[in-house]
Structures are given as structure tokens and as C-alpha cells.
Structure 1
């Protein structure tokens, strides 16, 4: 049973309301969302994953966090998440950093950081979309020379920030209306679409949503071209896929340079070799998993795609000075 939620807050400024054609959408109730969420995700050792039965690895929804309340506890997941605040104020904690939350805030939350709404000072109404990076890869033809580029571009806001602390930006009223319309249509198709066309419309609306967010992100001036290099796509791709097997030929293609030039320029730019940079990201992620989950060490090594547990152990000790087990034990003793 769904109820009709009037989304005036998404389109109405204190003085005037935009086109009423977009002011109402049939959205599932919050109770229905919670029921569906149970079937979409499972939690293993503190990490949320899409279930195999979920079909399309995407879950867009409308959510309310009541005044004085918090969202679910601090958590991490094996997928990306986008959040748009429609109304209310509060505090969101992302990666240990507190951010004030208000109307128009957009948060890009990747699969590396722990996060939660710490407190809603007034009821927080928000649009959410959780999705696996693989969804983007599958939406474009692998035969297209633009497929890798398109996949990279649409996920750029999750990683390409001049300042790592800037995990969000703010939409003005007109931008909020433009983005909300697409988001609401995506939710409508996701929950109410005709079965024979549902996947087609969902993927198209989702691609449009990411494109619209990226365009507003660029218009907001956050993705500043200062300091950009031909290796930026390589760095962003690695940041997105470091836990997978990365093909060097794909990185060379992204950079548009020879293999030797990529190796040389990457080291000059980052101070790391390609392998060293990837391993540094894996070690950073492993430290988080050691502290926030009860995953066995061998499972962490497997999850981060180290060649073997022995190699993971050796690299961790080289970077941190102690073994993974000692790191987990000592840090927890300090809490």
C-alpha cells in the first residue's frame, strides 16, 4: 500500500512554487521502504551488500529522519550512495568528520568511508540512491570507445575533489528542482514501473540522474580544472576500483599516454608507483575494516584482492609497522 507524498518542499521557495506538474509523485511509505530494504541488502561482518536476489544493484528511495533522532548506526557498505536533503537540518558524520546538513545539500558517499546521520535537529526529508559501481559499467556498450570514459565521468564526484574534506555541495533552488524531478521519476519507475519496461526506464533515469548531478557539480565550481592532469582519470579509476584486479592497459588508455610515460608521470605526480598507490589504498581500507568490522584477516585480504594472506600481512606490516592483528587489538584497547 503506497501513499501519495506531496513533494512541495522539493520545489517550493518561501515566496513562490515552480511548475505544479511536478509537485506530486506516488512514493512508497517509509514502512514499505523498510520492508523492501530488508530484502535488498544483507550485512556480513559489519559491511552492507546487495543481495543476489535484488536484481538491479540499485535502490532509490525517499526517507525521513525524525527530529532528535539518528539514522541507522555508523556503517560502511560495498556500494556507492547519493543523498539529497529536501528539508530539515542536522549533522551527518562521514569518515569521522561532522558536516552540517540542510536543504539542498548533496552528499556523495563512496564505499570507503563510514557514515551516518548523527542527529536530525528538525525532521530531515531526503532522497537517497544506493548503487553498485558495476551498474554503471553495465549500462554502456563495452564495444563503445567511450564506455570506460563514461563510467569514469559519472562517478567522478565520489572521488575527484581538490579537498578530500569536501564530500558534498549545495544545490540552489532551481538546481534542486531540476535534480529532484529526475530522482522522483526514477523512484516512481523503480517501484511502479511496468515489469516488461522497468529495467530499461530505471537505467535510463538513473543515468540521467548521475548526469544531472555531475552537471550541477561542475556548475558549482567544485570540480576545478586547476591542478588537473592527463592522469586524473587514471587516479579516479584506481580510487574507484582499487579492490579489484586493475588492467594496466586500461589505465594507459585512460591516460592517453604510452605505458612508460604513465609509469613515469604517475610516480612524479603522486610519489608512488602504480602498484604502491593501489596497495596504499588497500592498506588504508584494511585499517578501516579492522576497526569497524569483525571480518577475519584472511577475509579482509580476499575482499581487497591481495594475492594471498601472506602478501597482505607483509604489506600491512611494512606500511604500519605492526601486524594486522596487533593493529586491531591495540586500537580497540585505546577506545
Structure 2
């Protein structure tokens, strides 16, 4: 199954969405997906695993996952004790604000997650209480829609991100390498792909590096990440292609080559299948 590009139904002036206390099951959980919006996932109860970018994390009560835009991810709820979680989605434009003379932005926690490639935070008891209270306030405002409810949602979201940033700034975030859930060879292969996805790599060469058979590699990789290795590499390439299309003036052919695609038609085909538009259309609409 190809990764899904999640879309949101929201008003242009209020790019925000909340999925409150949703109990995940293997049947109703989204397949691998990514989106431009930024996402917080807080675990209220249950257990499972969460594949984000290149790491497989355990999910437990009190865990917080901080997921920047265009980061591929998928949750795998436990069959016996499925996860109940709240997911908060927002467009960064919602939180643009003046600096007020200090080096702080509400998006710092997302920037740190992207830079350090660590997406899980083990919350302190105090932060868990703050998060649950603020999420309750946000849900009530969205449900009751009293006068100024969008402003109230924004204020509570700002306070939520402020508390998360303060907690992380005190060095309480969990290290990513100690969170990995799965065989060491899978961890090593995910790191290898992350460093070499623009090169000519495939199942055969990766099996040699991992010292496992193709059948075993394919079964375990898909079980832990939700997709086969070819699709995973393609998604990595397309996310990188989006960055190049937005941040450089390179033509589409050069972007295709720099991302590791053998031909321009294949790049167009894969890009449109994952993003929903052609590379040129994506560049123009952004």
C-alpha cells in the first residue's frame, strides 16, 4: 500500500484540527501517511508502536510525539490494549507572532525534533497534567463554539507548546536511540537508507548489508514500518524532492536526478502518486 497524503478539512483562516481521545485499532488506524501540517500526538492509555521517519518507538501512557510536517509516520496499536490518543494538527502559519525581543518561537519543539530526528518525549508528571488539561480546554472550545472560540483554541495551543518547549529545554526529552523498538539490523538499515536514499540501493544490496535473507528482510521490514523497502525509499526521495522544488531553482530534471530517480517519467509518476500533483504543479501552487 502506498503512503497516504492526509488532507484536512478546515477554514483557510483557521488551519487547525483535533482528533480527541481516539482509540486506535489495527483496523481503523491510517496506513503510512504524511502531510504539510505539524502534529502532536499524546497517549492517554494503551500501548503500541509508532514508526516515525527512521525510528520505531514504543507508545505508552504519558508519551508525547512531536511530528514536523512532511514526516512519514504510522501507529501500530496493540491488539489487546489499543492506544487511546489525542492528535493535534496545525499549520505553522497559525502561530506566527512577533519575537517580542526574545529568541523564542512556539515551533521550537518541532524544529528540534526535525534537527535531532528525535520525535518522542517522555513527559514529566507535571507536563502530563498540563497537556491533558489544555487538550480538554481545546476540545471543549471546539465543541461548544462560544464567542471567540477560535481565539481560545489558539491561546490554549500556544500555552500547550510553551509548556512543551519549557519541559524540553530542561533536558527531559528521551533519547531516540534508546527508544528504538525492533531488531538492531532494522535500526541500522533505516539509518543507512536515510543517508543513501538518493543512491542506487535496493532490496538485494540492503539484505547484504543486514546479513539477512530477502524473504526475512521483506517480512520484518514491512511488519515494523508498514511498507516494503522500495516504497519507503521512494517516499524519502519524494520528501527530498519537495524540499528542492521549494528551496532551489533547479529544473525538474535536475531534481529528479539528485533524488535518485533513473528517469524523469518515473519521477513524475511516483511524485504524482504520492503528492497528488506533478512536480511543476506543486512548485507553482506553493
Task: Quote the residue 1:77 is aligned against.
Answer: 35
Larger Rg: 1
1:146 aligns with 2:100: yes
Q: 2:257 aligns with which of 277, 302, 317?
A: 317
Change (3 A) 1:145 1:155: closer
Partners of 1:120 and 1:149 in 2: CA distance:
41
Q: 2:246 aligns with which of 298, 304, 308?
A: 304
Matches within 5 A, 1:1-335: 46-51=4-9, 53=11, 55-66=13-24, 69=27, 71-121=29-79, 122-137=81-96, 140=97, 144-146=98-100, 149-150=103-104, 153-161=105-113, 164-194=116-146, 196-222=147-173, 288=235, 304=246, 306-307=248-249, 311-318=251-258, 320=260, 322-326=262-266
Partners of 1:145 and 1:165 in 2: CA distance:
26
Partners of 2:78 and 2:11 in 1: CA distance:
33
Could you tell me how far 1:289 is from its partner in structure 2?
Answer: 6.9
Partners of 1:102 and 1:161 in 2: CA distance:
19
- Asked if the contact 1:161/1:223 (under 8 Å) is kept, the reply is no
User: Which has the bigger relative contact order, CA under 8 A and spacing at least 6?
Assistant: 2
Number of residue pairs aligned between Structure 1 and Structure 2: 210
Change (3 A) 1:52 1:304: farther
Partners of 1:119 and 1:323 in 2: CA distance:
38
Q: What do residues 131-187 of structure 1 show as CA deviations (whole Å, max 9, x unaligned)?
A: 0011111xx3xxx4538954xx31122231598442111113332112211121111
Change (3 A) 1:302 1:190: farther
Q: Which SS does the other structure have where 1:78 is aligned?
A: coil
Partners of 1:147 and 1:136 in 2: CA distance:
17
- TM-score, structure 2 as length reference: 0.61
- Asked if the contact 1:67/1:124 (under 8 Å) is kept, the reply is yes
Give unpaired runs (5+ residues) of structure 2: 176-232, 271-286
